[in-house]
Amino acid sequence: MAKPFLLGVLGGMGPLATLDFQRRLLDATPAQSDQQQIPTVVWNVPQIADRQKALAGTGPSPLPQLLHGIEKLNKAGASHIAIPCNTAHHWYDALSDASEAPILHIVDATLDALAQSAERPQRVGVIATKGTLEAGWYQTRLAQQDIEVVVPTEEELAQWFVPGCYAVKRGALTEGGELLSLQANALFARGAQKLVLACTEVPVALEAVNAPFRHLTYDPAHALAERCSQLWQLTR
């Protein structure tokens, strides 16, 4: 007998991004009452080791803490698990192997949504951590759709993306939004027609500064929330 639908959220990376994802779950679900919203259990523990530092070789691996969170969500009865952090998907295979509940992949949700969009751009910029960019998840899937990819330079990552991301983590949303807007505009200047905001801190920051180009972006957290909502609605 299948488990009742209960979405597990492996969060804390960062905690604000997790709260933003929970809001997106509400927005994605056509509920007419409390009882029609997605039932969730959330592991929002921000003490998980820094993913960017781990992949750069300057910090410990977060895998033991990620596995602990997956264990807790499974024990809580999760039927599916979502991870609203792109960089954490570096450890997706190990987490999936350890989880009884299937783990939804944020890249799959994003690129499936893009493939179904009415107007598909020819060139897409990707704003992401160095670890996500080096993994090549988005570049590979975009190339499969015959879409050219524009990515940040090393200098841009150092000057704009990394300090912008960490500004969000310390609550300086306006500062983060201004820095990440510079990164976005640099990708537009190099020919990107739309952007994938492949770090869950980025949409929060751009919203804080009311960035005028937000209608030209794809938000993986939004796509993941939509996928979760679709699964929930199939069970009702």
pLDDT tens across 37-53, in order? Answer: 999 999 999 999 999 99
The ranges of the chain annotated as CATH 3.40.50.1860 are 7-105+222-234, 107-219
Confidence of residue 1 (pLDDT cuts 50, 70, 90): low
Q: CATH class for domain 107-219? A: alpha beta
Whether the model pTM is above 0.75: yes
Read off the pLDDT band of 76 (50, 70, 90): very high
pLDDT at 94 over 80: yes
Rg (CA), the chain: 17
Summarize the confidence of residues 26-31 as an average pLDDT. Answer: 95
- Catalytically active residues are 85, 199
**What confidence score (pLDDT) does residue 117 get?**
83
CATH of 7-105+222-234, one of 3.40.50.1860, 3.30.300.130, 3.40.50.1820, 3.20.19.10: 3.40.50.1860
Task: Quickly count: other Cβ atoms within 10 Å of residue 96's Cβ.
Answer: 14
Q: Across residues 11-30, what is the average pLDDT?
A: 96
**pLDDT on residue 119:** 82
What span, in angstroms and rounded, lies between the C-alpha atoms of 103 and 82?
6
